[in-house]
Amino acid sequence: MITQTTDWFDERLGIAKFTRKSLNKIFPDHWSFMLGEIAMYSFVILLFTGVFLTFFFVPSSKLITYHGAYLPDRGHKVSEAFASTLNISFSVRAGLVMRQMHHWAANVFIAAIIVHVCRIFFTGAFRKPREINWFVGTGLLVLAIVNGFLGYSLPDDLISGTGLRIAYSIVLSVPVVGSYLGFFLFGGTFPGNAIIPRFYTLHILIIPGLIIGLLTAHLAIMWHQKHTQFKGKGKTNRNVVGVAMWPAYAFQAGGFFFVTAAVIAALGGLVQINPIWLYGQYVPYRVSYAVQPDWYMGWLDGALRLMPSWEIQAFGHMIPNVFFPAVLLPGITFTLLGAWPMIERKITKDYEEHHLLDNPRDVPWRTSLGVGILAFYVVLFFASSTDVLANSYSLSLNFVLWAFRVLLFVVPPLAAFVAYKVASETGAVSTTGRRKRILIISRSSEGEFSTTETALRAPMHEEVIEELPEEIRYHAIKDGHEELASAIAVGAPSGGSTISTNDVDLGPLQSGGTGVYQIPRTPRGGTGDPRGRISRRDKRE
Amino acid sequence: MSKVDNESPTPPEVANSQVPERSTRSIEILVAVCFVISVLATVGLAVTYWLGGQPQVEGGLLFATLGGIGVGMVAWGKYLVPQGPYVQERDTIKSEILERQALLESLDRGSKAVGRRPFLGKLMGASIALFGLINLFPFLRSLGPVPKKALTTTPWRKGSAVVGPDGKQVTSSTLEVGGVMTVFPSNDVGGAISQTVLIRVGTANWTTRPGRETWGPLGYLAFSKVCTHAGCPVGLYEELTQQLLCPCHQSLFDVLTGATPVFGPAPRPLPQLPIYFDSNGNMHAQAGYDQPVGPGYWERP
Ligand code: HEM
Ligand code: FES
């Protein structure tokens, strides 16, 4: 049956070779590689839940009299967008869960992207040849934030409407073209009737379309270039060591999609988010206290608050206050982020290909720079709750504001300094990051205690990457094509294949392709040659 | 990362104590239990849905359904199938030098053939560029009107009747001292840019600044409610300090001196609307605002 199917396809598409190669693809195994996966899976969940929402959401700001299930709003004038969101929340079966899952997935999506970017940054995974994927990734981050904001604006509630008003002012503040930009984007003065239908088209079609395009490119490039991997025994700049795509990786990754979905479902069902019925319909002259955007907008909100009340007025023109924190700052942020691979190359003059990752502590300067920059945005993020902080700790608003203005410039260098110290000092200690050794504590006859490590360790830096040691006995994988297998296993000493019972051959790759070898595992209990051993617990650290 | 000890192997007994033998049998049972939980939860989900649905129950059951499948698959993929580690060599990314040269030659061949007719080439480029440009313009332009005066003026005019959000005429007795409300011109009730905050600070005429002697009759002061920072409605009035607070980024405006910003990012005072009472005690605007309201923009003088 399977033979028939594969033959059917192969005779029409000629895919046997490519598919085979893909099934045998090797994926390095490290938890931090899952961050990008979480982002991708959350996006898939956004698509599913989003399509569900489109069946019920009405993208219109036309005012109607509400007659729905939410009693406090009955008889009030609300927009169709607001009414349909109430309808999704109270009348559509499973509607509230879907809506909340959609919102939670958006938050998880962006959080996962940001942590993923940090992983790429701190390990130097963006270096040649992976610069293109860094650019694509920066684009994805921006699009995700923009689409999150657009979606947040759709229900037409008081908080999102206020956010839109601020967004309009930010667009207006762009020098030279700002007012035209604002008028074309919003269809005239604020609020108008065009925003919600327009943002709807952007939110469900255009931006997701762009995201899908970029995401496809991102994955295709990664597939083609293969993953990076951390340094370790047997790992070189010219190979990939890990689990095979089929079946181990496919099962792990597929299962992990469901795990991500399960967590988002639990959040969506159990943790309330954006209860718009408590905020009410957006009315331009009303405002609620403690307006707070979704978390990924916090840094911009914080920057708007901390900016001194300056404004440039000259030659009959104006550069408004919000331009600096809300146009210039994000502009610089994303430009520098996107350009980082080039900037770093200017500094390091490193034109080599890198497939082995840096341990962050081995590159203290980059690590401390990254930590300092992150600290800057973290301070901005916390600054978006100046009013809440002032209230909860009964401080004066003035004090809190000035404290944050000072912190904004004090915390980043401090954090960078600490990071530098930690990185360079732990980098210098040979045992940092290693599995704890068992200490044998003995007491001498005089009553003094002494400790002995169970075994001596080679100094950290000598263990860094070497070519595959000779003693590791590979075996080229056979599936009946003995001659092929030995032809492929160039450089791998023939014979001697001790594999544990659980491991199975992957089969040879097509001739001329890259070889897939298996590092034999010594049977547990350590009877084999320990020098050639990569046991599972070792590998997973 | 691999931490294989090169120098001396970990004593066997230590190694044994750290790697518990995992029996595949127990993993098989775990995986089976996960899938069974998932099936049961799905049945529960169907029942919940059929009965009309309940968000928390749905969330919990979805968690069990998806989580069961997920944990089952991950456990299967991690403990019941070969893990290697396998080694795969990387392909060289860049092509052979000959390959690249061949590419250049192919490119060259085409460019030469086309380059022979530079005039046609320029003509083609120009026609495509012109098409793009001319079509971009109406596309952009249909998205919205050009700003013209929309940003500089509001619907407030000389003589506009001042009304509340419900459309009711404001009179000299509408507010107590210390009272505050939002008002509009009668032809634009609820308008986003004409929204104005009306405060009564006393019973006698109040002059906020030189030149505004008649603007605050009977202690009524009217300011644009659109924050000069980013346009939020400046909604909160603190009677004690006579300050208006913008809840968006905490700008504070001092009412008695003409809503000058005293704290926060707002760069300009809220424009003041000159008002008067007619002989019947109804409130009107003496004129529109003397400057654009709200946040700044490039053309703002
Ligand atoms: C980049 C991916 C996306 C992000 C970050 C995102 C984010 C959001 C957010 C935060 C909301 C507000 C939800 C609320 O609390 O009411 C929302 C609403 C909405 N989204 Fe998305 N979304 C994404 C993709 C999609 C897609 C692909 C669709 C449809 C094909 C979609 C359809 C909708 C609809 C119809 C609403 C309004 C319904 C409502 O507000 O309840 N979204 N989105
Ligand atoms: S909009 Fe009023 S302070 Fe920012």
Which of A410, A430, A450 is the last residue before a domain boundary?
Answer: A430
Residues A400 and A363 grouped into a single domain:
yes
Mutate which: A20, A34, A91, A180, vs B, most B CBs within 10 A: A180
Q: Is residue A459 in a domain? A: no
Q: Is residue B9 in a domain? A: no
Q: Is residue B4 in a domain? A: no
Q: Is residue A462 in a domain? A: no
Residues A121 and A166 grouped into a single domain:
yes
Q: Do A180 and A171 meet the contact criterion of CB atoms below 8 Å apart? A: no
Q: Who among B78, B195, B248 is closest to A285 (CB)?
A: B195
Look at residue A173 in the predicted model and tell me its pLDDT: 94
Query: If DSSP states are collapsed to H, E and C, what string results for B35-81?
Result: HHHHHHHHHHHHHHHHHCCCHHHHHHHHHHHHHHHHHHHHHHHHHCC
Residues B168 and B266 grouped into a single domain:
yes
Residues A116 and A222 grouped into a single domain:
yes
Ligand nearest to the CA of B230: 2
Distance from CA of residue A24 to its chain's centroid?
26
Length of chain A: 541
Low-confidence ranges of chain B (pLDDT < 70): 1-22
Q: Do A474 and B87 touch (CB under 8 A)?
A: yes
| Ligand 2 midpoint to CA B285 (Å) | 26
Q: Which domain holds residue A77?
A: 2-358
Q: Is residue B75 in a domain? A: yes
Tally of domains within chain B: 2
For A48-75, give one letter per residue: b (16+ CB within 10 A) or e.
ebbebbeebbbbbbeeeebeeebeebee
List the structure tokens of A127: 């270096």
CB-based contact, B138 to chain A, within 8 Å: no
Residues A351 and A413 grouped into a single domain:
no
Q: Which residues pair with A281 in a beta bridge?
A: A157
Q: Which residues pair with B47 in a beta bridge?
A: none
Q: Do B83 and A248 touch (CB under 8 A)?
A: yes
Residues A390 and A275 grouped into a single domain:
no
Q: Is residue A422 in a domain? A: yes
List the structure tokens of A410: 């004090």
The ligand 1 site (C-beta within 6 Å) comprises: A 46-47, 50-51, 53-54, 57, 85, 88, 99, 102-103, 106, 109, 144, 147-148, 151-152, 154-155, 203-204, 208, 211, 274
Q: Which residues pair with A476 in a beta bridge?
A: A517
CA distances from A329 to A114, A311, A344, B219 (A): 18, 15, 21, 43
Q: Is residue A445 in a domain? A: no
Residues B181 and B260 grouped into a single domain:
yes
Residues B189 and B211 grouped into a single domain:
yes
Give the chain B residue nearest A183 (alpha carbons).
B144
**For residues B14, A236, A250 and A515, what is the CA-based torsion angle, rounded to 10 degrees?**
-110
Ligand nearest to the CA of A320: 2
Q: Do A284 and B69 touch (CB under 8 A)?
A: no
Helix (H) or strand (E) holding A471: none
Residues B177 and B296 grouped into a single domain:
yes
- The C-alpha atoms of residue B167 and residue A501 are separated, in whole angstroms, by 84
Q: Do A169 and B70 touch (CB under 8 A)?
A: no
CB-based contact, B297 to chain A, within 8 Å: yes
Q: How do strand B275-277 and strand B236-238 relate by DSSP bridges?
A: unpaired
- B 201-220: CB under 8 A from A: none
Q: Is residue B64 in a domain? A: yes
Which of A403, A430, A457 is the last residue before a domain boundary?
Answer: A430
Residues B181 and B288 grouped into a single domain:
yes
Q: Which chain A positions have a beta carbon within 8 Å of B83's beta carbon? A: 243, 248, 502-503, 536
Give the chain A residue nearest B138 (alpha carbons).
A184
Residues B131 and B184 grouped into a single domain:
no
Pocket perturbation via mutation, ligand 2, pick of B243, B246, B252, B268 by most ligand atoms within 8 A of CB: B246
Residues B175 and B128 grouped into a single domain:
no
Residues B172 and B114 grouped into a single domain:
no
Which of B122, B142, B162 is the last residue before a domain boundary?
Answer: B142
Residues B176 and B64 grouped into a single domain:
no
Residues A74 and A196 grouped into a single domain:
yes
Residues B158 and B134 grouped into a single domain:
no
Q: Could you tell me the CATH number of the domain that includes residue B203?
A: 2.102.10.10
3-state secondary structure of B197: strand
The verdict on pTM exceeding 0.90 is no
Which of B142, B165, B195 is the last residue before a domain boundary?
Answer: B142
CB-based contact, B83 to chain A, within 8 Å: yes
Pocket perturbation via mutation, ligand 1, pick of A107, A154, A199, A278 by most ligand atoms within 8 A of CB: A154
Q: Do B295 and A320 touch (CB under 8 A)?
A: yes
Q: Could you tell me the CATH number of the domain that includes residue A27?
A: 1.20.810.10
Q: What ipTM was assigned to the predicted interfaces of this complex?
A: 0.88
Residues A402 and A522 grouped into a single domain:
no
Give the chain A residue nearest B75 (alpha carbons).
A252
Pocket perturbation via mutation, ligand 1, pick of A38, A53, A210 by most ligand atoms within 8 A of CB: A53
Residues B73 and B166 grouped into a single domain:
no
Which of B142, B177, B195 is the last residue before a domain boundary?
Answer: B142
List the structure tokens of A492: 């791998």
Q: Is residue B177 in a domain? A: yes
- The C-alpha atoms of residue A57 and residue A369 are separated, in whole angstroms, by 45
Q: Which domain holds residue B64?
A: 21-142
Per-residue pLDDT of chain A (541 residues; tens, 9 = 90+): 788 999 999 999 999 888 888 888 889 988 899 999 999 999 999 999 999 999 999 999 999 999 989 999 899 999 999 999 999 999 999 999 999 999 999 999 999 999 999 999 999 999 999 999 999 999 999 999 999 999 999 999 999 999 999 999 999 999 999 999 999 999 888 888 899 999 999 999 999 999 999 999 999 999 999 999 998 877 888 888 888 898 899 999 999 999 999 999 999 999 999 999 999 999 999 887 666 788 999 999 999 999 999 999 888 889 999 999 999 999 999 999 999 999 999 999 999 999 999 999 889 999 999 999 999 999 999 999 888 888 888 888 889 999 999 999 999 999 999 999 999 888 777 555 555 666 677 777 887 777 766 554 433 333 333 333 332 323 333 233 333 333 334 333 333 333 333 334 444 443 333 445 555 444 444 343 434 333 333 333 3
Q: Do B266 and A309 touch (CB under 8 A)?
A: yes
Q: Do A514 and B89 touch (CB under 8 A)?
A: yes
Q: Which atom of ligand 1 is nearest to the CA of A207?
A: 1
Q: Is residue A51 in a domain? A: yes
Tally of domains within chain A: 3
With a 6 Å cutoff on the Cβ, whether B251 touches ligand 2 is yes
Q: Please give the single-letter amino acid code of residue A229.
A: Q
Mutate which: A287, A502, A504, A514, vs B, most B CBs within 10 A: A287
Residues A372 and A495 grouped into a single domain:
no
Neighbouring CB atoms inside 10 A of B5's CB total: 19
| Ligand 1 midpoint to CA A103 (Å) | 7
**Residue carrying the six token digits 């595949």:** B24
Residues B206 and B131 grouped into a single domain:
no
Residues A344 and A491 grouped into a single domain:
no
Residues A403 and A483 grouped into a single domain:
no
Which of A302, A329, A358 is the last residue before a domain boundary?
Answer: A358
- CA geometry: angle at A171 spanning A113 and A189, to 5°? 130
Q: Is residue B85 in a domain? A: yes
Q: Is residue B120 in a domain? A: yes
Q: Which atom of ligand 2 is nearest to the CA of B232?
A: 1
Look at residue A168 in the predicted model and tell me its pLDDT: 95
Residues A176 and A101 grouped into a single domain:
yes
Residues A270 and A414 grouped into a single domain:
no
Residues 6 or more apart whose CB falls under 8 angstroms from that of A340 comprise: A121, A126, A134
With a 6 Å cutoff on the Cβ, whether B230 touches ligand 2 is yes
